[in-house]
Amino acid sequence: MKFSLNNKVAIVTGGGSGIGKAISKTLAEHGTYVHIFELNADNAKTTKDEIEKQGGLAEVHNCDVSNQQNVINVIDNISKKHTIDILVNNAGVPHIGNVEKTLEADFDRVFNVNVKGVYNCIFSVIPYMKKNGGVIINMASVAASVAVSDRFAYSMSKGATLTMTYSVAKDYIAHGIRCNCISPARIHTPFVDGFLKSNYPGKEEEMFDKLSKTQPIGRMGTPQEVANLALYLCSDEAAFITGTDFPIDGGFIKLNG
């Protein structure tokens, strides 16, 4: 069966909601034992329960990806029970603002989660993957490749994610480790709904339509569409692919302008 991940073990950071939840559930549906790294215990439990209801296997770990020792401890414990085959670095935080509206605390917060968090997880899992090979998927963004207004710190972090992907792919190809990244444009997640409710009360539908039309295809993507791409990249069907960025953007990069 194509895209089978039977008997594979995956770590999905930020796997309790949005894109991470969709990836966790999709990998589990295709045979993966999923370890969900999440700070929101309620979200993580909901995702785990939904996976198990469908006959899948999942485990939840309260893990702060910005804390290297925390990440090392959790991954070391997982490795005592399982061979780690897949790492999906999905955890991330947003920030809206140009450089003048980005305080040092804002910059540090984005860097610590979106950049250091990716580094911490790769740093911790690589020694185990070097033994048996593996797949690493990093969640970048169209903001890593093209200019997006008022996303200074976020763009910085996703640019770093993109280049970390290239570096890891180059350094560990001889160890049978494939490393790619996914660059979504706007995806309709709970964050989008919360952002519109907080910033445009009473005008949510109008602004949702406006943001949707910034993608040439005329709508936002769905978490499941991103998860389907992640599934492919984690599978043996993508065995010849490494060191590549995959935009999933409704034409945002190539067709705008």
Return the structure tokens found at 34: 């999923």
Question: Would you call 166 a catalytic residue per the annotation?
Answer: no
% of the chain at pLDDT higher than 90: 96
Distance (Å) of CA 99 to CA 59, 104, 150, 157: 39, 10, 8, 13
* From 33, 128, 154, 172, the catalytic residue: 154
Distance (Å) of CA 55 to CA 3, 17, 42, 52, 83: 18, 19, 20, 5, 21
Helix (H, G, I), strand (E, B) or coil at 33: strand
Return the structure tokens found at 9: 């073990």
Q: Mind listing the pLDDT tens digit for each residue in 223-257?
A: 999 999 999 999 999 999 999 999 999 999 999 86
Q: Does the structure show a pLDDT above 70 at 216?
A: yes
pLDDT at 257: 60
Task: Write down the mean pLDDT value for the chain.
Answer: 97
Residue type, 236: D
CATH number of 9-185+222-251: 3.40.50.720
Return the ∠ at Cα 161 (arms to 242 and 228), rounded to 5°.
Answer: 55
Distance (Å) of CA 110 to CA 17, 35, 71, 82, 225: 18, 24, 18, 31, 25
Return phi, psi of residue 241, to 5°: -115, 120
Distance (Å) of CA 132 to CA 7, 44, 113, 172, 177: 14, 28, 28, 12, 8
Calpha distance 40→50 (Å, rounded): 16
Q: Mind listing the pLDDT tens digit for each residue in 63-84?
A: 999 999 999 999 999 999 999 9
pLDDT at 195: 86
Q: Where are the domains of the chain?
A: 9-185+222-251, 187-220
Tokens 């993109």 belong to which residue? 162
pTM of the entire predicted model: 0.97
Residues 64, 120: contact at Cβ < 8 Å?
Answer: no
Band (pLDDT 50/70/90 cuts) for residue 41 is very high
Q: Mind listing the pLDDT tens digit for each residue in 163-200?
A: 999 999 999 999 999 999 999 999 999 889 988 998 89
Calpha distance 96→101 (Å, rounded): 8
Band (pLDDT 50/70/90 cuts) for residue 1 is confident
pLDDT at 208: 95
